[in-house]
Amino acid sequence: MAAADKPPIADRPEGRPLHVAVVMDGNGRWAKQRSLPRPLGHRAGVEALRRTVSAAPKLGIGWLTVFGFSTENWSRPAAEVAELMALPKRYFETDLDRLNREGVRVRVIGRREGLSRELVRLIDDAQARTANNTAFHLDIAFNYGGQADIAEAARRFAAEVAAGRRKPEDLDEAMFAGLLATAGSPPPDLIVRPSGEQRLSNFLLWEAAYAELVFQDVLWPDYGEEHLRAALTEFAARDRRYGAIVADDVLAAG
Ligand code: IPE
Ligand code: MG
């Protein structure tokens, strides 16, 4: 592969990921273990998000994408959906001012359809207030599904073709990536899933092409800096080749 064709992934000298994505999972089990109602698990999950967002920049991470609500989560009982819908407000009320002061750009990726008008306003406001921040990037996937995002991008490109503004052959991987909700972010180097489940569950399907996956046996509400550090240690031990072979083997291949 020519150097220019390499995926735009920053191979950082210390073997640290630039972009980490997290499937925040295990809130329900955490609550159940404590005989608490599930909403309390979700609220404790917000605390874990706070700890993780504050640990990430200290560990050299520049982008953090977290999965907060998937397009499939609508199938949960209405009361639980209502609790999950209330989480962004809960989080922004306590944290947005500080995040903004610290130079964090907040972006919410996912469909706006289905969200209340109040929530959409809250999201728009959070994004607008932090839009020019560059110290750290927090992307919150909310009402997000990887397949839905890819389908939506394809639909938008098809509409451009139908309108005569684009030709089918204009489309390549880079242009397609620019049509996704994650446009502008580097692809995740590391995707972490706590709670013991070993699935992507429709998270960042396109973007995950070369991500290292780390599954951790901790429930999300217990997550914090030590778990993020452990994930980074595992990441640093991985050998990322992007489909190529290592230099020694190039020599051996003659
Ligand atoms: C993560 O915790 C929150 C969301 C998926 C919205 P869960 O609610 O999935 O917790 P478990 O998997 O039931 O433990
Ligand atoms: Mg779950």
Nearest ligand to the CA atom of 67: 1
User: How far is 63 from 138, CA to CA, in rounded Å?
Assistant: 6
Residue 169: partners with Cβ closer than 8 Å, 6 or more residues away:
none
User: Relative to the CA of 80, which ligand 1 atom is closest?
Assistant: 8
How many angstroms separate the alpha carbon of residue 192 from the centre of ligand 2? Answer: 14
Q: What is the DSSP string of 169-180?
A: GG--HHHHHTTS
* DSSP three-state, residue 77: coil
68 close to 140: Cβ distance less than 8 angstroms: yes
What tens-digit pLDDT sequence spans the chain (254 residues)?
344 444 444 455 568 999 999 999 999 999 999 999 999 999 999 999 999 999 999 999 999 999 999 999 999 999 999 999 999 999 999 999 999 999 999 999 999 999 999 999 999 999 999 999 999 999 999 999 999 999 999 999 999 999 999 999 999 999 999 999 999 999 999 999 999 999 999 999 999 999 999 999 999 999 999 999 999 999 999 988 888 887 777 777 76
Nearest ligand to the CA atom of 84: 1
Catalytic residue among 25, 139, 149, 189: 25
What are the beta bridge partners of residue 214? 192
Residue pointed to by tokens 């938008």: 156
Is any ligand 1 atom within 6 A of the Cβ of residue 29? yes
Is any ligand 1 atom within 6 A of the Cβ of residue 84? yes
Active-site annotation holds for 25: yes
How many angstroms separate the alpha carbon of residue 63 from the centre of ligand 1? Answer: 23
Q: What is the DSSP string of 2-18?
A: -GGGS-S----TTS--S
Chain-centre distance of CA 15, in angstroms? 20
What are the beta bridge partners of residue 108? 140
Around ion ligand 2, residues with a beta carbon closer than 5 Å are 25
Is any ligand 1 atom within 6 A of the Cβ of residue 28? yes
Is any ligand 1 atom within 6 A of the Cβ of residue 25? yes
Is any ligand 1 atom within 6 A of the Cβ of residue 212? no
Query: Which domains are assigned to the chain?
Result: 16-253 (3.40.1180.10)
Query: What sign does the dihedral 78-80-84-86 (CA atoms) show?
Result: positive
Catalytic residue among 27, 73, 143, 202: 73
Nearest CA to ligand 1 atom 12: 26
Please name the residue ranges forming H helices in 64-218. Answer: 78-85, 87-101, 117-130, 146-162, 173-177
Token pair belonging to 111? 């469909």
Count Cα neighbours of 94 within 13 Å in the Cβ-side half-sphere.
10
